[in-house]
Amino acid sequence: MKGSHLGEFQELVLLTIMVLKENAYGVSIKREIKDRADRSISRGALHTALSRLEEKGLIESWQGEANKERGGMRKRYYKVTDTGAAALRAAKELRDSLWNEIPGLSLQYQHHYA
């Protein structure tokens, strides 16, 4: 299925949203990615990725509360849908199976994974 193909960055965003659980919105996602992957991404680039994911039905969003730091603007929270989770899992399985085919590395990989 062409639509369910995940780009590297999209996968990263999806995973980050899952990690953040209930607190996944623009700023938190951006900061999390910065902390974990040391990747500085612009809010604009993040917006593009989020809107693509939402189009594909991999995430869903709803309006949250506003506060003073935001100049009275409401947040938009994101959550990975079941389809999104399935797509992530499929991507992971694909990688695992590929990793398993590479002898010598698999042990190290499994070790690390455990």
Partner 1 sequence: MPADRTTPPRFFTRLFERFCKQNLYDELQGDLEEEFYLNLEEFGIARARKLYRREVLKMLRPSVVKKIRNQPTYYNHTAMFRNYSIVAFRNLSRNRLFSAINIIGLAISMAVGLIAITFVSEIYSYDNFHDNRDRLFRVVSNLHRTNGNVTEYATASVFAGNRLANDFAGFEAVAPLTKGFRGEMRKGESSIAIQGIYANNDFFKVLSFQLLAGNSGSALTEPNSVILTETAAQKLFDRSDVVGEIIEWKDQTPYKITGVLKDPPSNSHLKFDAIASLKTLEEKNISTVTDFGVIWASHVYVLLPENYDLQQIQTNLDKLAEEENPKLKYWQLSLGLERFDDIFPSTGKANQFSTVMPKEKVTSIVVLALIVLFSACFNYTNLSLARSLKRSKEIGVRKVVGAGKTHLFLQFIIEAILVAVIAVIISYGLFQLIKPEFLALDFYIQRTTTLDLQPINYLYFFLFAVAIGILAGLFPSLLMTRFKPVNILKGVSVKTSKGVGLRKVLVGIQFALSMGFATLVTMTYKQYKYALNFDLGFTTENILNVEVQSNTPEVLKSQFQAVPEVAGVSSASIMPSTGNSMSNFVKYKNPLDSVTAYTMDIGPDYLTNMGHQLLAGPGFEKEGTGDRAIVNELFLKEIGINKSSEAIGEQISFYNKTWMITGVVKDFHYGTIKNELEPFIFTMGRQDHYYLNVKLKTNDITATMNRLESAWKEVDNVHPFEARFYDDWLQDTYSDMNASLKTFGLLSGVAICISILGLLGMAVYNAESRLKELAIRKVLGATLSSLMLLLSRSFMGIFILSACVAIPLAYYIYEETIVSTAVYKINIGFWELASGALLIVAVALLTISSQTMKAARSNPAESLRNE
Q: Is 108 in the site for partner 1 (CB under 8 A)?
A: no
Q: Which of 48, 86, 89, 93 binds partner 1 (CB under 8 A)?
A: 48
Q: Is 86 in the site for partner 1 (CB under 8 A)?
A: no
- Enumerate the H helices of the chain as residue ranges: 8-20, 26-37, 43-55, 82-100, 105-113
Query: Residue 19 corresponds to which amino acid?
Result: V
How many chain residues interact with partner 1 (CB under 8 A)? 20
CB 22 → partner 1: shortest distance, Å?
Answer: 17
CB 24 → partner 1: shortest distance, Å?
Answer: 12
d(CA 30, CA 8): 16
Name beta bridge partners: 79. Answer: 60
> Do residues 100 and 108 touch, judged by C-beta distance below 8 A?
no
Residues forming the site for partner 1 (CB under 8 A): 25-27, 30-31, 42-45, 47-48, 51, 66, 69-71, 73-76
